[in-house]
Homo-oligomer: A and B are copies of this chain.
Amino acid sequence: MHHALIKKLESFESLSDDDRSALDALVPKVRQVGARVDLIREGEVPENVHLVLDGFACRYKVLADGQRQIMAYFLPGDFCDLNVFILDQMDHSIGTISACQIVDIPRAAIDEITASHPRVTRAFWWCALVDEAILREWLVNLGAREANQRIAHIMCEILMRLDAVGRVRDNSYQFPFTQTDIADTMGLSNVHVNRTLRELRELGLVTLKHRVLTILDVDRLKAYCGFNANYLHLKNTRWVERRRATWLGRTEGA
């Protein structure tokens, strides 16, 4: 059984045995990191790429008034900073949510594997583009949806992303986030998150007990928040639920 990164890449791109063993060689030393530990902080100079093999981490910023904004979740198979690490200094921090298995990959190792494995290179590119697409969708989430749909939406997203790395069983998955984590992700207060979660429970959409989230009716939850998986650009489900945007009246030629 291969590690989560390989599973994830294969949801974008078909890999050869050679690709897979090269990716296996990329993660020689797995490091155990506890929950609520920073991997890198704002202002520091990035050196390695961080890869999450197991557990949950996040990207976040802290404002002058102490307010925290979470900007991304990192799930098993996710690179935390595949591109970011080229920057001179970090403009944000990365920290674990739960205990994690982390691999620190030197830039040289990335250069090496991409030089000789074009499919892997393509898949890495794809990862970076999907990460950006997710970020855009999060912006839509904050800008255009209300609390209950916002939270339902992130639950759908995590379901899809975890499913791509085989971490979902019977529409249930590990959900290590505290209500304050969710609040800092969604731009809400933890009190309101609590009430919103209760509402989702009362509507029969989900259950959340002992850090395990179960989605009782996936289709209903997706419909509830208007979830459209196209932005995840997964191979199997790509553009099943296509939708067209025609807000600005004219097209170019018209």
Let me know if A26 is at the binding interface, CB within 8 A.
no
Task: Report Cα–Cα, A39/B250, bound state, in Å.
Answer: 10
> Is there an interface contact between A87 and B144, defined as CB atoms closer than 8 Å?
no
Q: A: which residues have CB within 8 A of B? A: 33-34, 36-39, 41-43, 59-65, 67-69, 71, 83-84, 86-89, 91-93, 95-96, 125-126, 128-129, 132-133, 135-136, 138-140, 142-145, 184-187, 226, 230-231, 233, 238-239, 242-252
Task: Report Cα–Cα, A59/B125, bound state, in Å.
Answer: 21
> Is there an interface contact between A248 and B37, defined as CB atoms closer than 8 Å?
yes
19 A–B pairs (Cβ distance < 8 Å), ordered by A? A33-B252, A36-B250, A37-B250, A38-B246, A43-B239, A43-B244, A61-B140, A63-B140, A63-B145, A71-B136, A83-B129, A83-B132, A84-B132, A86-B129, A88-B233, A89-B242, A91-B133, A92-B136, A132-B132
> Is there an interface contact between A83 and B250, defined as CB atoms closer than 8 Å?
no
> Is there an interface contact between B69 and A144, defined as CB atoms closer than 8 Å?
yes
- Assembly stoichiometry (copies): 2
> Is there an interface contact between B41 and A140, defined as CB atoms closer than 8 Å?
no
**What residue in chain B is nearest A136 (Cβ atoms)?**
B71
Given contacts A88-B238, A144-B63, A245-B61, contact A135 B139 (CB under 8 A): yes
Task: Report Cα–Cα, A136/B62, bound state, in Å.
Answer: 12
Given contacts A63-B140, A67-B144, contact A248 B93 (CB under 8 A): yes
**What residue in chain B is nearest A33 (Cβ atoms)?**
B252
> Is there an interface contact between A38 and B251, defined as CB atoms closer than 8 Å?
yes
Task: Report Cα–Cα, A247/B252, bound state, in Å.
Answer: 47
B residues near A65, Cβ cutoff 8 Å = 226
> Nearest chain B CB to A87's CB is how many angstroms away?
6
Task: Report Cα–Cα, A238/B254, bound state, in Å.
Answer: 44
**What residue in chain B is nearest A94 (Cβ atoms)?**
B248
Task: Report Cα–Cα, A60/B88, bound state, in Å.
Answer: 30
> Is there an interface contact between A62 and B246, defined as CB atoms closer than 8 Å?
yes
B residues near A132, Cβ cutoff 8 Å = 83-84, 132, 135
Partner of A245, one of B42, B136, B244, B251: B42
B residues near A238, Cβ cutoff 8 Å = 88
> Nearest chain B CB to A90's CB is how many angstroms away?
9
> Is there an interface contact between A93 and B63, defined as CB atoms closer than 8 Å?
no
B residues near A128, Cβ cutoff 8 Å = 83
